[in-house]
Amino acid sequence: MNNPSPLQHEDAVYRKIARRIVPFLFICYVVNFIDRVNIGFAKLQFLHDLKLNDAVFGVAAGMFFIGYVIFELPSNLYLARVGVRKTLLRIMALWGTLTVLLMFVQNATELYVLRFLLGAAEAGFFPGIILYFTYWFPDSRRGRIMSLFIMAVPLAGIIGGPLSGMIMSHLHEALGLRGWQWLFLIEGVPAIALGIMAMLYLDDRPADARWLSDAEKQQVQAALEADRRRRLEQDAPPARLRDVLRNPRIQILSAIYFCVFMGLNAIGFWIPTLLRQVGVRGVAEIGWLSGAISVCTAIGIVLVGRSSDRSMERRWHLAICGFTVAASFLLLPLAAHNIALTTLLLIAASICIYAVLSIFWTIPTAYLEGGSAAGGIATITAIGALGGAISPSLVGVLKAHTGNLYAGLAVVGALLALGMIAMLFTVPAPRRNTAPVL
């Protein structure tokens, strides 16, 4: 029997790491995204109950990202100091509690305040996980890991859409609570439990992992050290945080991510409303159709991520997906009152925006190292979150004035296309010193 080759042994080590940490973080992100966007389903009932309108909803959806922006950088820097275990305990317990408290909202002011606090509580979760992956996986493997991790978002749609629809339709008026109140209660509790589990289950770094042998720890460390040397050879940004914040490459990546996040939130918050606008009336039916869109999205982003990793090409994969999202948004008015065509356009937009999200993060993490990584990642995500705050507010205000979502989505699509053009002209293709992953 032949001994395994060095490449086979290396693959086995990273499969072992992936099996240990990725499924748990994947589940955390599923719950995270369900709690972040379930307000898009809840609004189908609570706007009427609380006598609010779409403009108020758009502002409330955006308030989440104001809190997110303010606390993003401190949270990620703190994670680099105390580790992911304590950070996830704090973040998930707080956001689960605040999600539950949304069931008691009575007016617009309370809605704004709780959404702001929810964003502040969650700040650091996504960039913290991205940073955490850089402790375990070298650049050549991170694209596939990120695409698997980002699959949590469409899976959240697959689960969250039908679940939200069923909760709101079947538990409406149970024990005197409205359907949207049950929604926040049932979907908020799992985050608290997962935060406690993170403290008990995860390891902060490979050196702390008792389930890795000394040889496996050394192999991982050697691969990460090789990445660090390559970044230095490619004129990577200096490790000091103030240099990262002043670095033009980080600034342009932040601006691009701003445009990406505008498109991401347009999909995340407005799909239920758009489906109702084109003729899908029942809450349960909207949930199931949203879930079907998410199934297609999950398949699509894995295929795009594999293609990007096999070729070790990022920029054109990113750009083509971004332009597809923009085109889908601009074509939606042609599908008005046509459920099938609207659904097809939403599938294309959903696949590509989440593929953009997963591929995008292979670019900054390939340029950042050491002390610059936590600050650089947090800076980019914080600026992107501003786009997340503006996008739902913009779409909501324009819907209140025009009666439909198309004007707001067209603006978001145009900005996303501009972001992709900026990326192609300003972000250089990294040198390919690393062999493609097959």
Find the distance separating the first CA and the last CA of the chain, reported in whole Å.
Answer: 24
Cα-based torsion angle of the residue sequence 196, 202, 205, 209 in order, rounded to the nearest 10 degrees? 140
For the chain, what's the residue count?
438
CB 219, CB 10: distance < 8 Å: yes
Cα-based torsion angle of the residue sequence 193, 267, 60, 273 in order, rounded to the nearest 10 degrees? -110
**pTM for this prediction:** 0.72
Q: How far apart are CA 223 and CA 281, in angstroms?
A: 53
Q: Give one word for 95, left, alpha or beta, with left for phi > 0 and alpha for psi -120 to 50.
A: alpha
Structural domains for the chain: 17-426 (1.20.1250.20)
Three-class SS string for 18-73? HHHHHHHHHHHHHHHHHHHHCHHHHHHHHHHHCCCCHHHHHHHHHHHHHHHHHHHH
Q: How far apart are CA 412 and CA 405, in angstroms?
A: 11
Residue type at 184 in one-letter notation = F
pLDDT in tens, the chain (438 residues): 456 666 676 778 888 888 888 899 999 999 988 888 788 888 888 888 888 888 888 888 888 888 887 887 787 777 778 888 888 899 999 999 999 999 999 999 999 999 999 988 888 888 788 888 888 888 777 777 877 787 787 788 788 888 888 888 888 888 888 888 999 999 899 999 999 999 989 888 888 888 888 888 888 888 878 777 776 665 444 445 566 667 777 788 888 889 888 888 888 777 888 888 888 877 778 878 888 888 888 888 878 877 887 777 888 888 899 999 999 999 999 988 888 899 999 999 989 998 888 788 777 766 655 555 666 776 787 787 788 778 877 888 888 788 778 888 999 999 999 999 988 888 776 554 443 332
Nearest of 345, 287, 282 to residue 40 by alpha carbon: 287
Buried b / exposed e over 8-39, threshold 16 CB at 10 Å, is eebeebbeebbebbbeebbebbbbbbbbbbbb
Residue type at 339 in one-letter notation = I
